[in-house]
Structure 1
Amino acid sequence: MDLRKLYKKNEFTMYSPQADTRLTPGARQFLIDRRISFEACRAGKKKGSASDRRCTADTAEKATEINPPTDWLLLKLLRYMEHTESLVLLAASQFYGNTEFTFSEELVALSKWIHQACKLCQQKKSAPHVTFWGCTAAELHARAAGTACEWCWESMPKDEKERKNILWLYHVQTAIRNAEPLLLEVKYHEHSVKTWCDEVSELFQSLDDILCIMMEKCLRGLI
């Protein structure tokens, strides 16, 4: 019987497969994620012995240390999103203090998308496609692809104020990009080809595109 269906029907804390049953990698990870003890070292030991039970518990504990449960990874992702949201708002405050109100408002709007993504991740729900400046996600990606926002000192403006603006936007962009490996890590432990993680990844890609466009505006003095 499929372990997921069995667990959904009646939750259990220990699983003892039959002698001729071998756990698949997916089934083993399912048990580890939920801290369900299972007999992983039966050879040479009498079934049900104290040594066998101790070996089972130790094996499950070590495996959990190597492969942390999905909930731990999700918590790490959520905390990082909260950190990124606060960073975007800090950047918005910096632009507002420099009387660059348009960019400040755009960063606040961007932070709201991150806040929404954080809530959706917590509920493990798919994220909507980003719309910004009246553009769809696909249009934003096309615009970003046409920019020359690759980071290099040679392209930095000489004006100190403009340099600070670029650095703030670059700092925000790198924070947004760093969410990708965390999302991939959660997706890997979800054991699914297509999950809500993919939708959130696409949302963060759109935010990355927005930052590319904003940096291009700064470089061209259109701020």
Structure 2
Amino acid sequence: MKFITEDDLRDSYKKEPFTEYVIEPGTRITPGARQFLADRGINMFDDDVSWKSKSTEKEKQASPDSERKKELCDKRLLCRIKSMEAMFLAAVEDLLDRDVLLAQKLIALKKCFADIKLVMDGKNVSDQLICQNCTVINQDNFSESLDDCFEITEFHIQLGKGKELIGLHRLRCALREMELDFIEFFENWDGENTQREEVIGKVNQIINTLSQLICMAAGGEKCQRNC
């Protein structure tokens, strides 16, 4: 399976602008590439469906509807990714005058999350999030979906780091929702499983790192799981 990225389409468009694009057999376009076509109003067709004779009018109408659904799904996911990045920036801005060190850690997590778009476009990412082993989280389960160590309640608002705790928890909750979005996106994915595993794994790594930051904000160096 060959992936056509946004950069591939951009280079082709610079050489010779086009108004239609045919997805050739054995290829798949990435979400970024699909958005590139949509932004320029370029019609997209499947080579073995839209450019061949069809037996019925129903078949002629099915392909555009299907492609439109995929286009909307990809666009929604990209919008959710941008919203998540904005949440990270808002959290960082809120922390700058209270905890610069924690703000810097969130900036690093935001950059790691931004790398997910590169992975989905079939690009290699050199920077990897490093696992800091604790009582629960270690290198073996760092990329897995783990339960929260403890429930955040109104009690935690009263702590000295209450505002930081709520901010971190809000990011973690939003990322758990995003994980479901990615899982849904990859349900019809016909590309490499390694790409799917890398994306989901990165999301879980960020979530688990946030869980560790929440534990530290709630009780210092002591693990707060089941406390």
Letter in 2 for 1:80: R
Are 1:56 and 2:68 counterparts? no
**Mapped pair 1:34 → 2:46:** yes
Q: Which letter maps to 2:152?
A: W
- CA distance 1:146–1:124, shift in 2 (3 Å): closer
Structure 1 residues 75-114: aligned runs within 5 Å = 75-98=75-98, 100-114=99-113
Gaps of 5+ in 1: 1-5, 10-31, 43-51
Q: Provide the secondary structure at the position in 1 that maps to 2:84.
A: helix
Q: Is the contact made by 1:130 and 1:137 (CA closer than 8 Å) also made in structure 2? A: no
Could you list the runs of 5+ residues in structure 2 that have no partner in the other structure? 1-23, 28-43, 222-227
Indicate the residue corresponding to 1:46 in structure 2.
Answer: none
Higher strand proportion (structure 1 or 2) = 2
Are the equivalent residues in 2 in contact too, given 1:77–1:182 (CA < 8 A)?
A: yes
- Larger C-alpha radius of gyration, 1 or 2? 1
CA deviation after TM superposition for structure 1 residue 151, in Å: 2.9
TM-score by length of 1: 0.63
Normalization by structure 2: what TM-score?
0.62
Contact 1:169 1:215 in 2 (8 A): yes
Count of aligned pairs between the two proteins: 177
- Give, in whole Å, the separation in 2 of the partners of 1:33 and 1:131: 42
- Counterpart code for 1:103: L
Displacement of 1:199 in angstroms is: 0.3
1:140–1:209 Cα contact (<8 Å) kept? no
The structure that is helix-richer by fraction is 1
Summarize the alignment of residues 116-131 of structure 1 with structure 2, pairs less than 5 Å apart: 116-121=115-120, 123-125=121-123, 129-131=128-130
Is residue 92–residue 104 contact of structure 1 (8 Å, CA) maintained in 2? yes
Matches within 5 A, 1:151-170: 151-154=152-155, 156-159=156-159, 162-170=161-169
Q: 1:62 to 1:146 in 2, by over 3 A?
A: closer
> For residues 146 and 182 of structure 2, what CA distance do their matches in structure 1 show?
23
Which residue of structure 1 lines up, in the alignment, with residue 25 of structure 2? 7
